């Protein structure tokens, strides 16, 4: 049975961020993920998680100035020092709550810039980060994010490019974050894709399409996909990175067999 993790950046937004942890635990979630915990002091973050009874399974490295349009900076040739300094914060937060996975967002390629140079920078920064976590129980994840709807100009928007980058880094610490919603938009053929990539997948996320709402609101057949993950042998977490169509608890009927 897939293990579901509530994404607190998108779910339970009826509540302040610090209060969403307890709400997720009360709803039955045993895992929690979020985009970025950095708005909370480390001790507040740790206390909120402990109060939930759940464990933190994933969050992102600092993505830059999200409000100003940043969507990561690890591939930006002009921000190498900034990324590497910010990685210290990611490690400090991960250590405080024993989080075993950090998503390293590549960023949006500026118009007219050399994509190959951005890819080279991403590889170098991932290699640096992999060395930093070599002795830690922490994996680094890279996620193809759709560039058609949600993040135009996002560098890593397809699984083949993600796998090329993982191969170039050459570290077992760098794995694939497979988001079903993003890959439905960009590639389709979901179960064959998951089966082919499964040895490299360190985390899966879901949302329906279109709309990025909860399963059952769109075209993706989650009643087939979620049981299939068991058949394929996936034993990791599935992050619920969706925007509830209404109130969060009212939209959890689809998950009653999993939490």
- Looking at the annotation, which residues are catalytic? 143, 241
Nearest-10 crossing angle of helices 17-26, 42-52 = 20
User: How would you label 221-254 residue by residue, b for 16+ Cβ within 10 Å and e otherwise?
Assistant: ebeebbebbeeeebebbbbbbbbbbeebeebbeb
As a whole number of angstroms, the distance between CA 191 and CA 210 comes to 18
Cis preceding linkage at 210, omega within 30: yes
What are the start-end ranges of the H helices in 115-179? 115-132, 159-169
Helix (H) or strand (E) holding 88: helix 80-97
Residue whose C-alpha is closest to residue 254's, from 229, 222, 227, 224: 222
Q: Token pair 């109060």 is at which residue?
A: 51
Q: Are 184 and 146 in contact (CB under 8 A)?
A: no
**Residues 50/51/55/56 CA torsion (nearest 10 deg):** -80
As a whole number of angstroms, the distance between CA 214 and CA 246 comes to 10
End-to-end CA distance of the chain, in Å? 9
């Amino acid at each position: 049975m897939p293990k579901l993790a509530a994404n607190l950046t998108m779910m339970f937004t009826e509540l302040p961020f610090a209060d969403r942890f307890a709400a997720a635990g009360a709803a039955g979630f045993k895992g929690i993920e979020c985009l970025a915990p950095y708005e909370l002091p480390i001790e507040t973050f740790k206390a909120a998680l402990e109060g939930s009874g759940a464990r933190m399974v994933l969050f992102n490295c600092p993505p830059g100035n999200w409000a100003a349009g940043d969507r990561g900076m690890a591939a930006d040739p002009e921000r190498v020092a900034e990324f590497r300094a910010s990685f210290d914060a990611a490690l400090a937060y991960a250590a405080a709550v024993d989080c075993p996975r950090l998503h390293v967002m590549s960023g949006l390629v500026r118009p007219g810039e050399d994509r190959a140079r951005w890819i080279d920078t991403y590889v170098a920064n991932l290699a640096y980060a992999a060395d930093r976590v070599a002795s830690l129980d922490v994996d680094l994840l890279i996620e193809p994010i759709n560039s058609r709807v949600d993040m135009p100009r996002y560098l890593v928007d397809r699984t083949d490019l993600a796998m090329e980058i993982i191969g170039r880094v050459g570290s077992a610490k760098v794995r694939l974050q497979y988001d079903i919603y993003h890959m439905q938009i960009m590639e389709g053929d979901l179960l064959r894709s998951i089966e082919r990539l499964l040895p490299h997948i360190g985390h899966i996320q879901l949302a329906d399409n279109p709309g990025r709402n909860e399963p059952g609101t769109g075209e993706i057949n989650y009643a087939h996909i979620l049981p299939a993950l068991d058949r394929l042998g996936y034993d990791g977490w599935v992050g619920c990175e969706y925007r509830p169509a209404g109130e969060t608890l009212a939209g959890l009927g689809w998950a009653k067999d999993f939490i």
